[in-house]
Structure 1
Amino acid sequence: MLRADHKLSLLERIDRQMVVGDIVLHEAYGSGVLRSGWEGFLQVDFPSGTVNFTDKDGLCLLPGKLEKSWKLFPSDEIEKRYKVAIAAIRDAFQYDFVNADEVYEGEPSNYIGRKEYEEEKIVFVRSWLKDNLPKSNAGSQQLPDAEQLHAIAAVNGHVQVIARAGSGKTATLVIRAYFMMKHCRVAPSTMLLLAFNRKAANEIRRRILLLLEPRAEISIKEEIEKRGKRVQAGRRVDWGEMEAEAVDAVAKTLQVALPYVMTFHALAYAIVHPEESLLYNGAEGESQGLSKAFQQVIDDFLQDAEFKGRIRELMLAHFREDWDRIVAGRYDQTKEELLKYRRSLPRESIGGDYVKSYGEKVIADFLFEHDIAYKYERNHWWGEVNYRPDFTIFKTPKSGVIIEYFGLAGDPDYDEMSSDKRRYWRSKPDWDLIEFSPADFRINGVEGFIDQLRGALREQGLVFNRLSEDEIWLRVRDRAIDRFTNAAVGFVGRCRKQSLSPQDLGSLIDAYKPLSPVESMFLDLVHDLYAAYLDRLVSTGEEDFDGLLQRAASAVSSGRTRFERKTGSGDLRKICYVFVDEFQDFSDLFYRLLQSIRKENPGVQLFCVGDDWQAINGFAGSDLRFFSDFERWIGKSRKLHISTNYRSFRSIVDVGNALMRGHGKPAVANSKDAGSVFLVDVAQFEPALIEKQRHPGDVITPIASRIVSKALAEGKEVVLLCRRNGMPWFINFREHGQGGKGLSGYLELVRSFFSKGLAEGISISTSHKYKGLEKPVVIVMDAVARSYPLIHPDWAFSRILGDSPDRIAKEERRLFYVALTRAIDKLFIVTERQSYSPFIEEVAKTMRLAKIDWSEFPAVKSKSMRLLVQVGNQEGRGISPTFAIKDQLKASGYQWQSTGSTGWTKGFQANGFDISRVQGEVWASAADGIEVRILDESEGVVARFVVDAGTWVCTLDNLASVQAADDVA
Structure 2
Amino acid sequence: MMKRFSSGLIGQWLTGTTEWTLALTDEGMIFNGGAPIAYGDLQQVVVDEGVVWDTLAFGFAGGIWHRVEAIKADAIQIQRAVNAFAASHSDAARPKPQRRQEAPSGTLAGLLYRPLYLSAWEVDRWAREQSADGAQAGGAGTMPADLEAAVAQRNRQFVDDELERYAGFFDGVESAPLTLEQRRACVVMEDRNLLVASAGSGKTSVIVGKVGYAIDRGYARPEEILVLAFNNFAAAEIRDRIAARLGNLLEGAAVRVQTFHALGQSIGAAAGTRAVPAPAAVLDEGAIDGMMGDIIAALRKENAGFDSAWIELSALYLKPSPRPADLQSPHAWERHLLRSGTRQGGRRGYLTLNGEMVASQGELAIANWLFLHGVDYAYEKPVHYVSPDGRRCQYRPSFHLRELDAHVDHLMQDAHGRPAPVFSVKHRDSLAWQQSAGAELAVCLCTTSNEYASGQLLRRLAAWMQKGGHVVASRPGRQAQEALDAWIRTESSPFLTGLLRAFIRHAKSNRIGGTELIRRTGQCADPHRAALFARVADAIGARYAERLATRGEIDFDDMIIKAESAIRDGSHRHRFKLILVDEFQDISQGRARLLRAMLDARPGCKLFCVGDDWQSIYRFAGADVSLFKNFEASFGRAALLRLDSTFRSCQGIADVASRYVDFDGNPFGKKVRAADPSVRGSVTVMQYPARDKAGAGLNYVLQRLHREAADAGAKRSVFILARYKRLLEQVPAPSNFSDWLDIESRTIHGAKGLQADCVIVLGLMEGGPHAFPSMQTDDPMLDLVMPHAEAEPYAEERRLMYVALTRARRRAILMSCEANPSMFVTELLHDPASRAALDIWKLNAASASAPATAANRKMRARDGTAGCPACGDGQLVQRSGKYGDFRGCSSYPDCRYTEKVRAA
What is the CA deviation profile of residues 542-589 of structure 1, one whole-angstrom value per residue up to 9, with x for unaligned ones? 211111211111111001224xxxxxxxxx1x3111111111111110
CA positional deviation for 1:338: 13
Matches within 5 A, 1:193-592: 193-213=227-247, 256-273=252-269, 274-280=273-279, 293-304=291-302, 306=304, 307-318=306-317, 323-324=320-321, 327-329=322-324, 343=335, 346-349=338-341, 353=342, 360-362=348-350, 364-365=351-352, 368-369=355-356, 468-479=479-490, 480-500=492-512, 503=514, 507-508=518-519, 512=523, 515=526, 517-562=528-573, 572=574, 574-592=575-593
Counterpart Cα distance in 2 of 1:715 and 1:758: 5
What is the CA deviation profile of residues 615-658 of structure 1, one whole-angstrom value per residue up to 9, with x for unaligned ones? 12222221122211211211111101011100112221222233
Q: Residues 804 and 86 (structure 1 numbering): CA distance in 2 closer, same or farther, change over 3 Å?
A: same
CA positional deviation for 1:356: 14
What is the CA deviation profile of residues 791-842 of structure 1, one whole-angstrom value per residue up to 9, with x for unaligned ones? 3398143342258685452222211111111101111122245644444455
- 1:814 aligned onto 2:819: no
Counterpart Cα distance in 1 of 2:150 and 2:793: 48
CA positional deviation for 1:179: 1.8
Residue 224 of structure 2 corresponds to which residue in structure 1? 190
Counterpart Cα distance in 2 of 1:654 and 1:700: 25
Which residue type is aligned with residue 748 of structure 2? S
Sequence identity percentage: 23
Residue 746 of structure 1 corresponds to which residue in structure 2? 731
Counterpart Cα distance in 2 of 1:906 and 1:510: 50
Counterpart Cα distance in 1 of 2:502 and 2:149: 56
Residue 725 of structure 2 corresponds to which residue in structure 1? 725
CA positional deviation for 1:513: 5.4
CA contact (8 A) 1:269 1:548 kept: yes
- 1:797 aligned onto 2:792: no
Q: Residues 701 and 837 (structure 1 numbering): CA distance in 2 closer, same or farther, change over 3 Å?
A: closer
SS at match of 1:143: coil
Counterpart Cα distance in 2 of 1:639 and 1:287: 35
Counterpart Cα distance in 1 of 2:700 and 2:354: 31
Counterpart Cα distance in 1 of 2:148 and 2:307: 76
Question: 2:808 aligned to 823, 832, 845, which one?
Answer: 823
CA positional deviation for 1:679: 3.0
Counterpart Cα distance in 2 of 1:639 and 1:610: 12
Matches within 5 A, 1:4-23: none
Counterpart Cα distance in 2 of 1:758 and 1:685: 29
CA contact (8 A) 1:192 1:259 kept: yes
CA positional deviation for 1:122: 2.1
Residue 192 of structure 2 corresponds to which residue in structure 1? 158
Q: Residues 697 and 553 (structure 1 numbering): CA distance in 2 closer, same or farther, change over 3 Å?
A: closer
SS at match of 2:685: strand
Which residue type is aligned with residue 207 of structure 2? L
SS at match of 1:641: strand
Residue 219 of structure 1 corresponds to which residue in structure 2? none
Which residue type is aligned with residue 633 of structure 2? R
Counterpart Cα distance in 2 of 1:297 and 1:838: 37
CA positional deviation for 1:269: 0.7
Counterpart Cα distance in 1 of 2:777 and 2:293: 22
Which residue type is aligned with residue 526 of structure 1? A
Counterpart Cα distance in 2 of 1:868 and 1:113: 76
CA contact (8 A) 1:717 1:762 kept: yes
Counterpart Cα distance in 2 of 1:557 and 1:338: 56
Q: Residues 515 and 467 (structure 1 numbering): CA distance in 2 closer, same or farther, change over 3 Å?
A: same
Residue 850 of structure 1 corresponds to which residue in structure 2? 838
CA contact (8 A) 2:339 2:775 kept: no
Q: Residues 96 and 209 (structure 1 numbering): CA distance in 2 closer, same or farther, change over 3 Å?
A: farther
Which residue type is aligned with residue 576 of structure 2? I
Unpaired segments ≥5 residues, structure 2: 1-97, 105-110, 124-145, 359-421, 434-476, 848-855, 873-893
CA contact (8 A) 2:723 2:763 kept: yes
Residue 654 of structure 2 corresponds to which residue in structure 1? 653
Residue 748 of structure 2 corresponds to which residue in structure 1? 767
CA positional deviation for 1:724: 2.5
CA contact (8 A) 2:588 2:622 kept: yes
**TM-score, structure 2 as length reference:** 0.59
Q: Residues 152 and 342 (structure 1 numbering): CA distance in 2 closer, same or farther, change over 3 Å?
A: farther
Residue 166 of structure 2 corresponds to which residue in structure 1? 125
CA positional deviation for 1:145: 0.5
SS at match of 2:604: coil
Which residue type is aligned with residue 142 of structure 1? A
SS at match of 1:751: coil
Counterpart Cα distance in 2 of 1:685 and 1:835: 8
Counterpart Cα distance in 1 of 2:780 and 2:860: 44
Counterpart Cα distance in 2 of 1:725 and 1:908: 26
CA contact (8 A) 2:505 2:621 kept: yes
SS at match of 1:680: strand
Q: Residues 534 and 711 (structure 1 numbering): CA distance in 2 closer, same or farther, change over 3 Å?
A: farther
Counterpart Cα distance in 2 of 1:685 and 1:339: 19
What is the CA deviation profile of residues 242-300 of structure 1, one whole-angstrom value per residue up to 9, with x for unaligned ones? xxxxxxxxx9xx962111111111111111124324224559x6769968654443242
Q: Residues 117 and 338 (structure 1 numbering): CA distance in 2 closer, same or farther, change over 3 Å?
A: farther
Counterpart Cα distance in 1 of 2:309 and 2:152: 76
Q: Residues 835 and 868 (structure 1 numbering): CA distance in 2 closer, same or farther, change over 3 Å?
A: closer
Which residue type is aligned with residue 151 of structure 1? A
Q: Residues 106 and 256 (structure 1 numbering): CA distance in 2 closer, same or farther, change over 3 Å?
A: farther
What is the CA deviation profile of residues 483-528 of structure 1, one whole-angstrom value per residue up to 9, with x for unaligned ones? 3333322211111211345x45664467555626444333222222
What is the CA deviation profile of residues 656-676 of structure 1, one whole-angstrom value per residue up to 9, with x for unaligned ones? 233344523111111255573
Q: Residues 280 and 444 (structure 1 numbering): CA distance in 2 closer, same or farther, change over 3 Å?
A: farther
What is the CA deviation profile of residues 836-871 of structure 1, one whole-angstrom value per residue up to 9, with x for unaligned ones? 44444554333323324679x97767955554699x
Q: Residues 910 and 204 (structure 1 numbering): CA distance in 2 closer, same or farther, change over 3 Å?
A: closer
Counterpart Cα distance in 1 of 2:237 and 2:177: 19
Counterpart Cα distance in 1 of 2:730 and 2:895: 26
Counterpart Cα distance in 1 of 2:148 and 2:204: 37
CA positional deviation for 1:769: 2.3
CA contact (8 A) 1:194 1:263 kept: yes
- 1:677 aligned onto 2:682: yes
What is the CA deviation profile of residues 578-623 of structure 1, one whole-angstrom value per residue up to 9, with x for unaligned ones? 1111111111101111111122112111111111111122222211
Matches within 5 A, 1:841-880: 841-843=826-828, 844-847=831-834, 848-852=836-840, 864=866, 866-867=868-869
CA contact (8 A) 1:345 1:793 kept: no
CA contact (8 A) 2:195 2:643 kept: yes
Which residue type is aligned with residue 172 of structure 1? V
Which residue type is aligned with residue 595 of structure 1? R
Which residue type is aligned with residue 487 of structure 1? L
Unpaired segments ≥5 residues, structure 1: 1-81, 135-140, 215-250, 372-436, 449-465, 563-571, 687-694, 727-741, 871-904, 913-965
Counterpart Cα distance in 1 of 2:641 and 2:497: 42
Q: Residues 86 and 722 (structure 1 numbering): CA distance in 2 closer, same or farther, change over 3 Å?
A: farther
Counterpart Cα distance in 2 of 1:832 and 1:869: 20
Counterpart Cα distance in 2 of 1:509 and 1:110: 45
Which residue type is aligned with residue 715 of structure 1? K
Counterpart Cα distance in 1 of 2:234 and 2:479: 52
Which residue type is aligned with residue 628 of structure 1? K
Which residue type is aligned with residue 300 of structure 1? A
Question: 1:666 aligned to 671, 685, 690, which one?
Answer: 671
Counterpart Cα distance in 2 of 1:310 and 1:111: 60
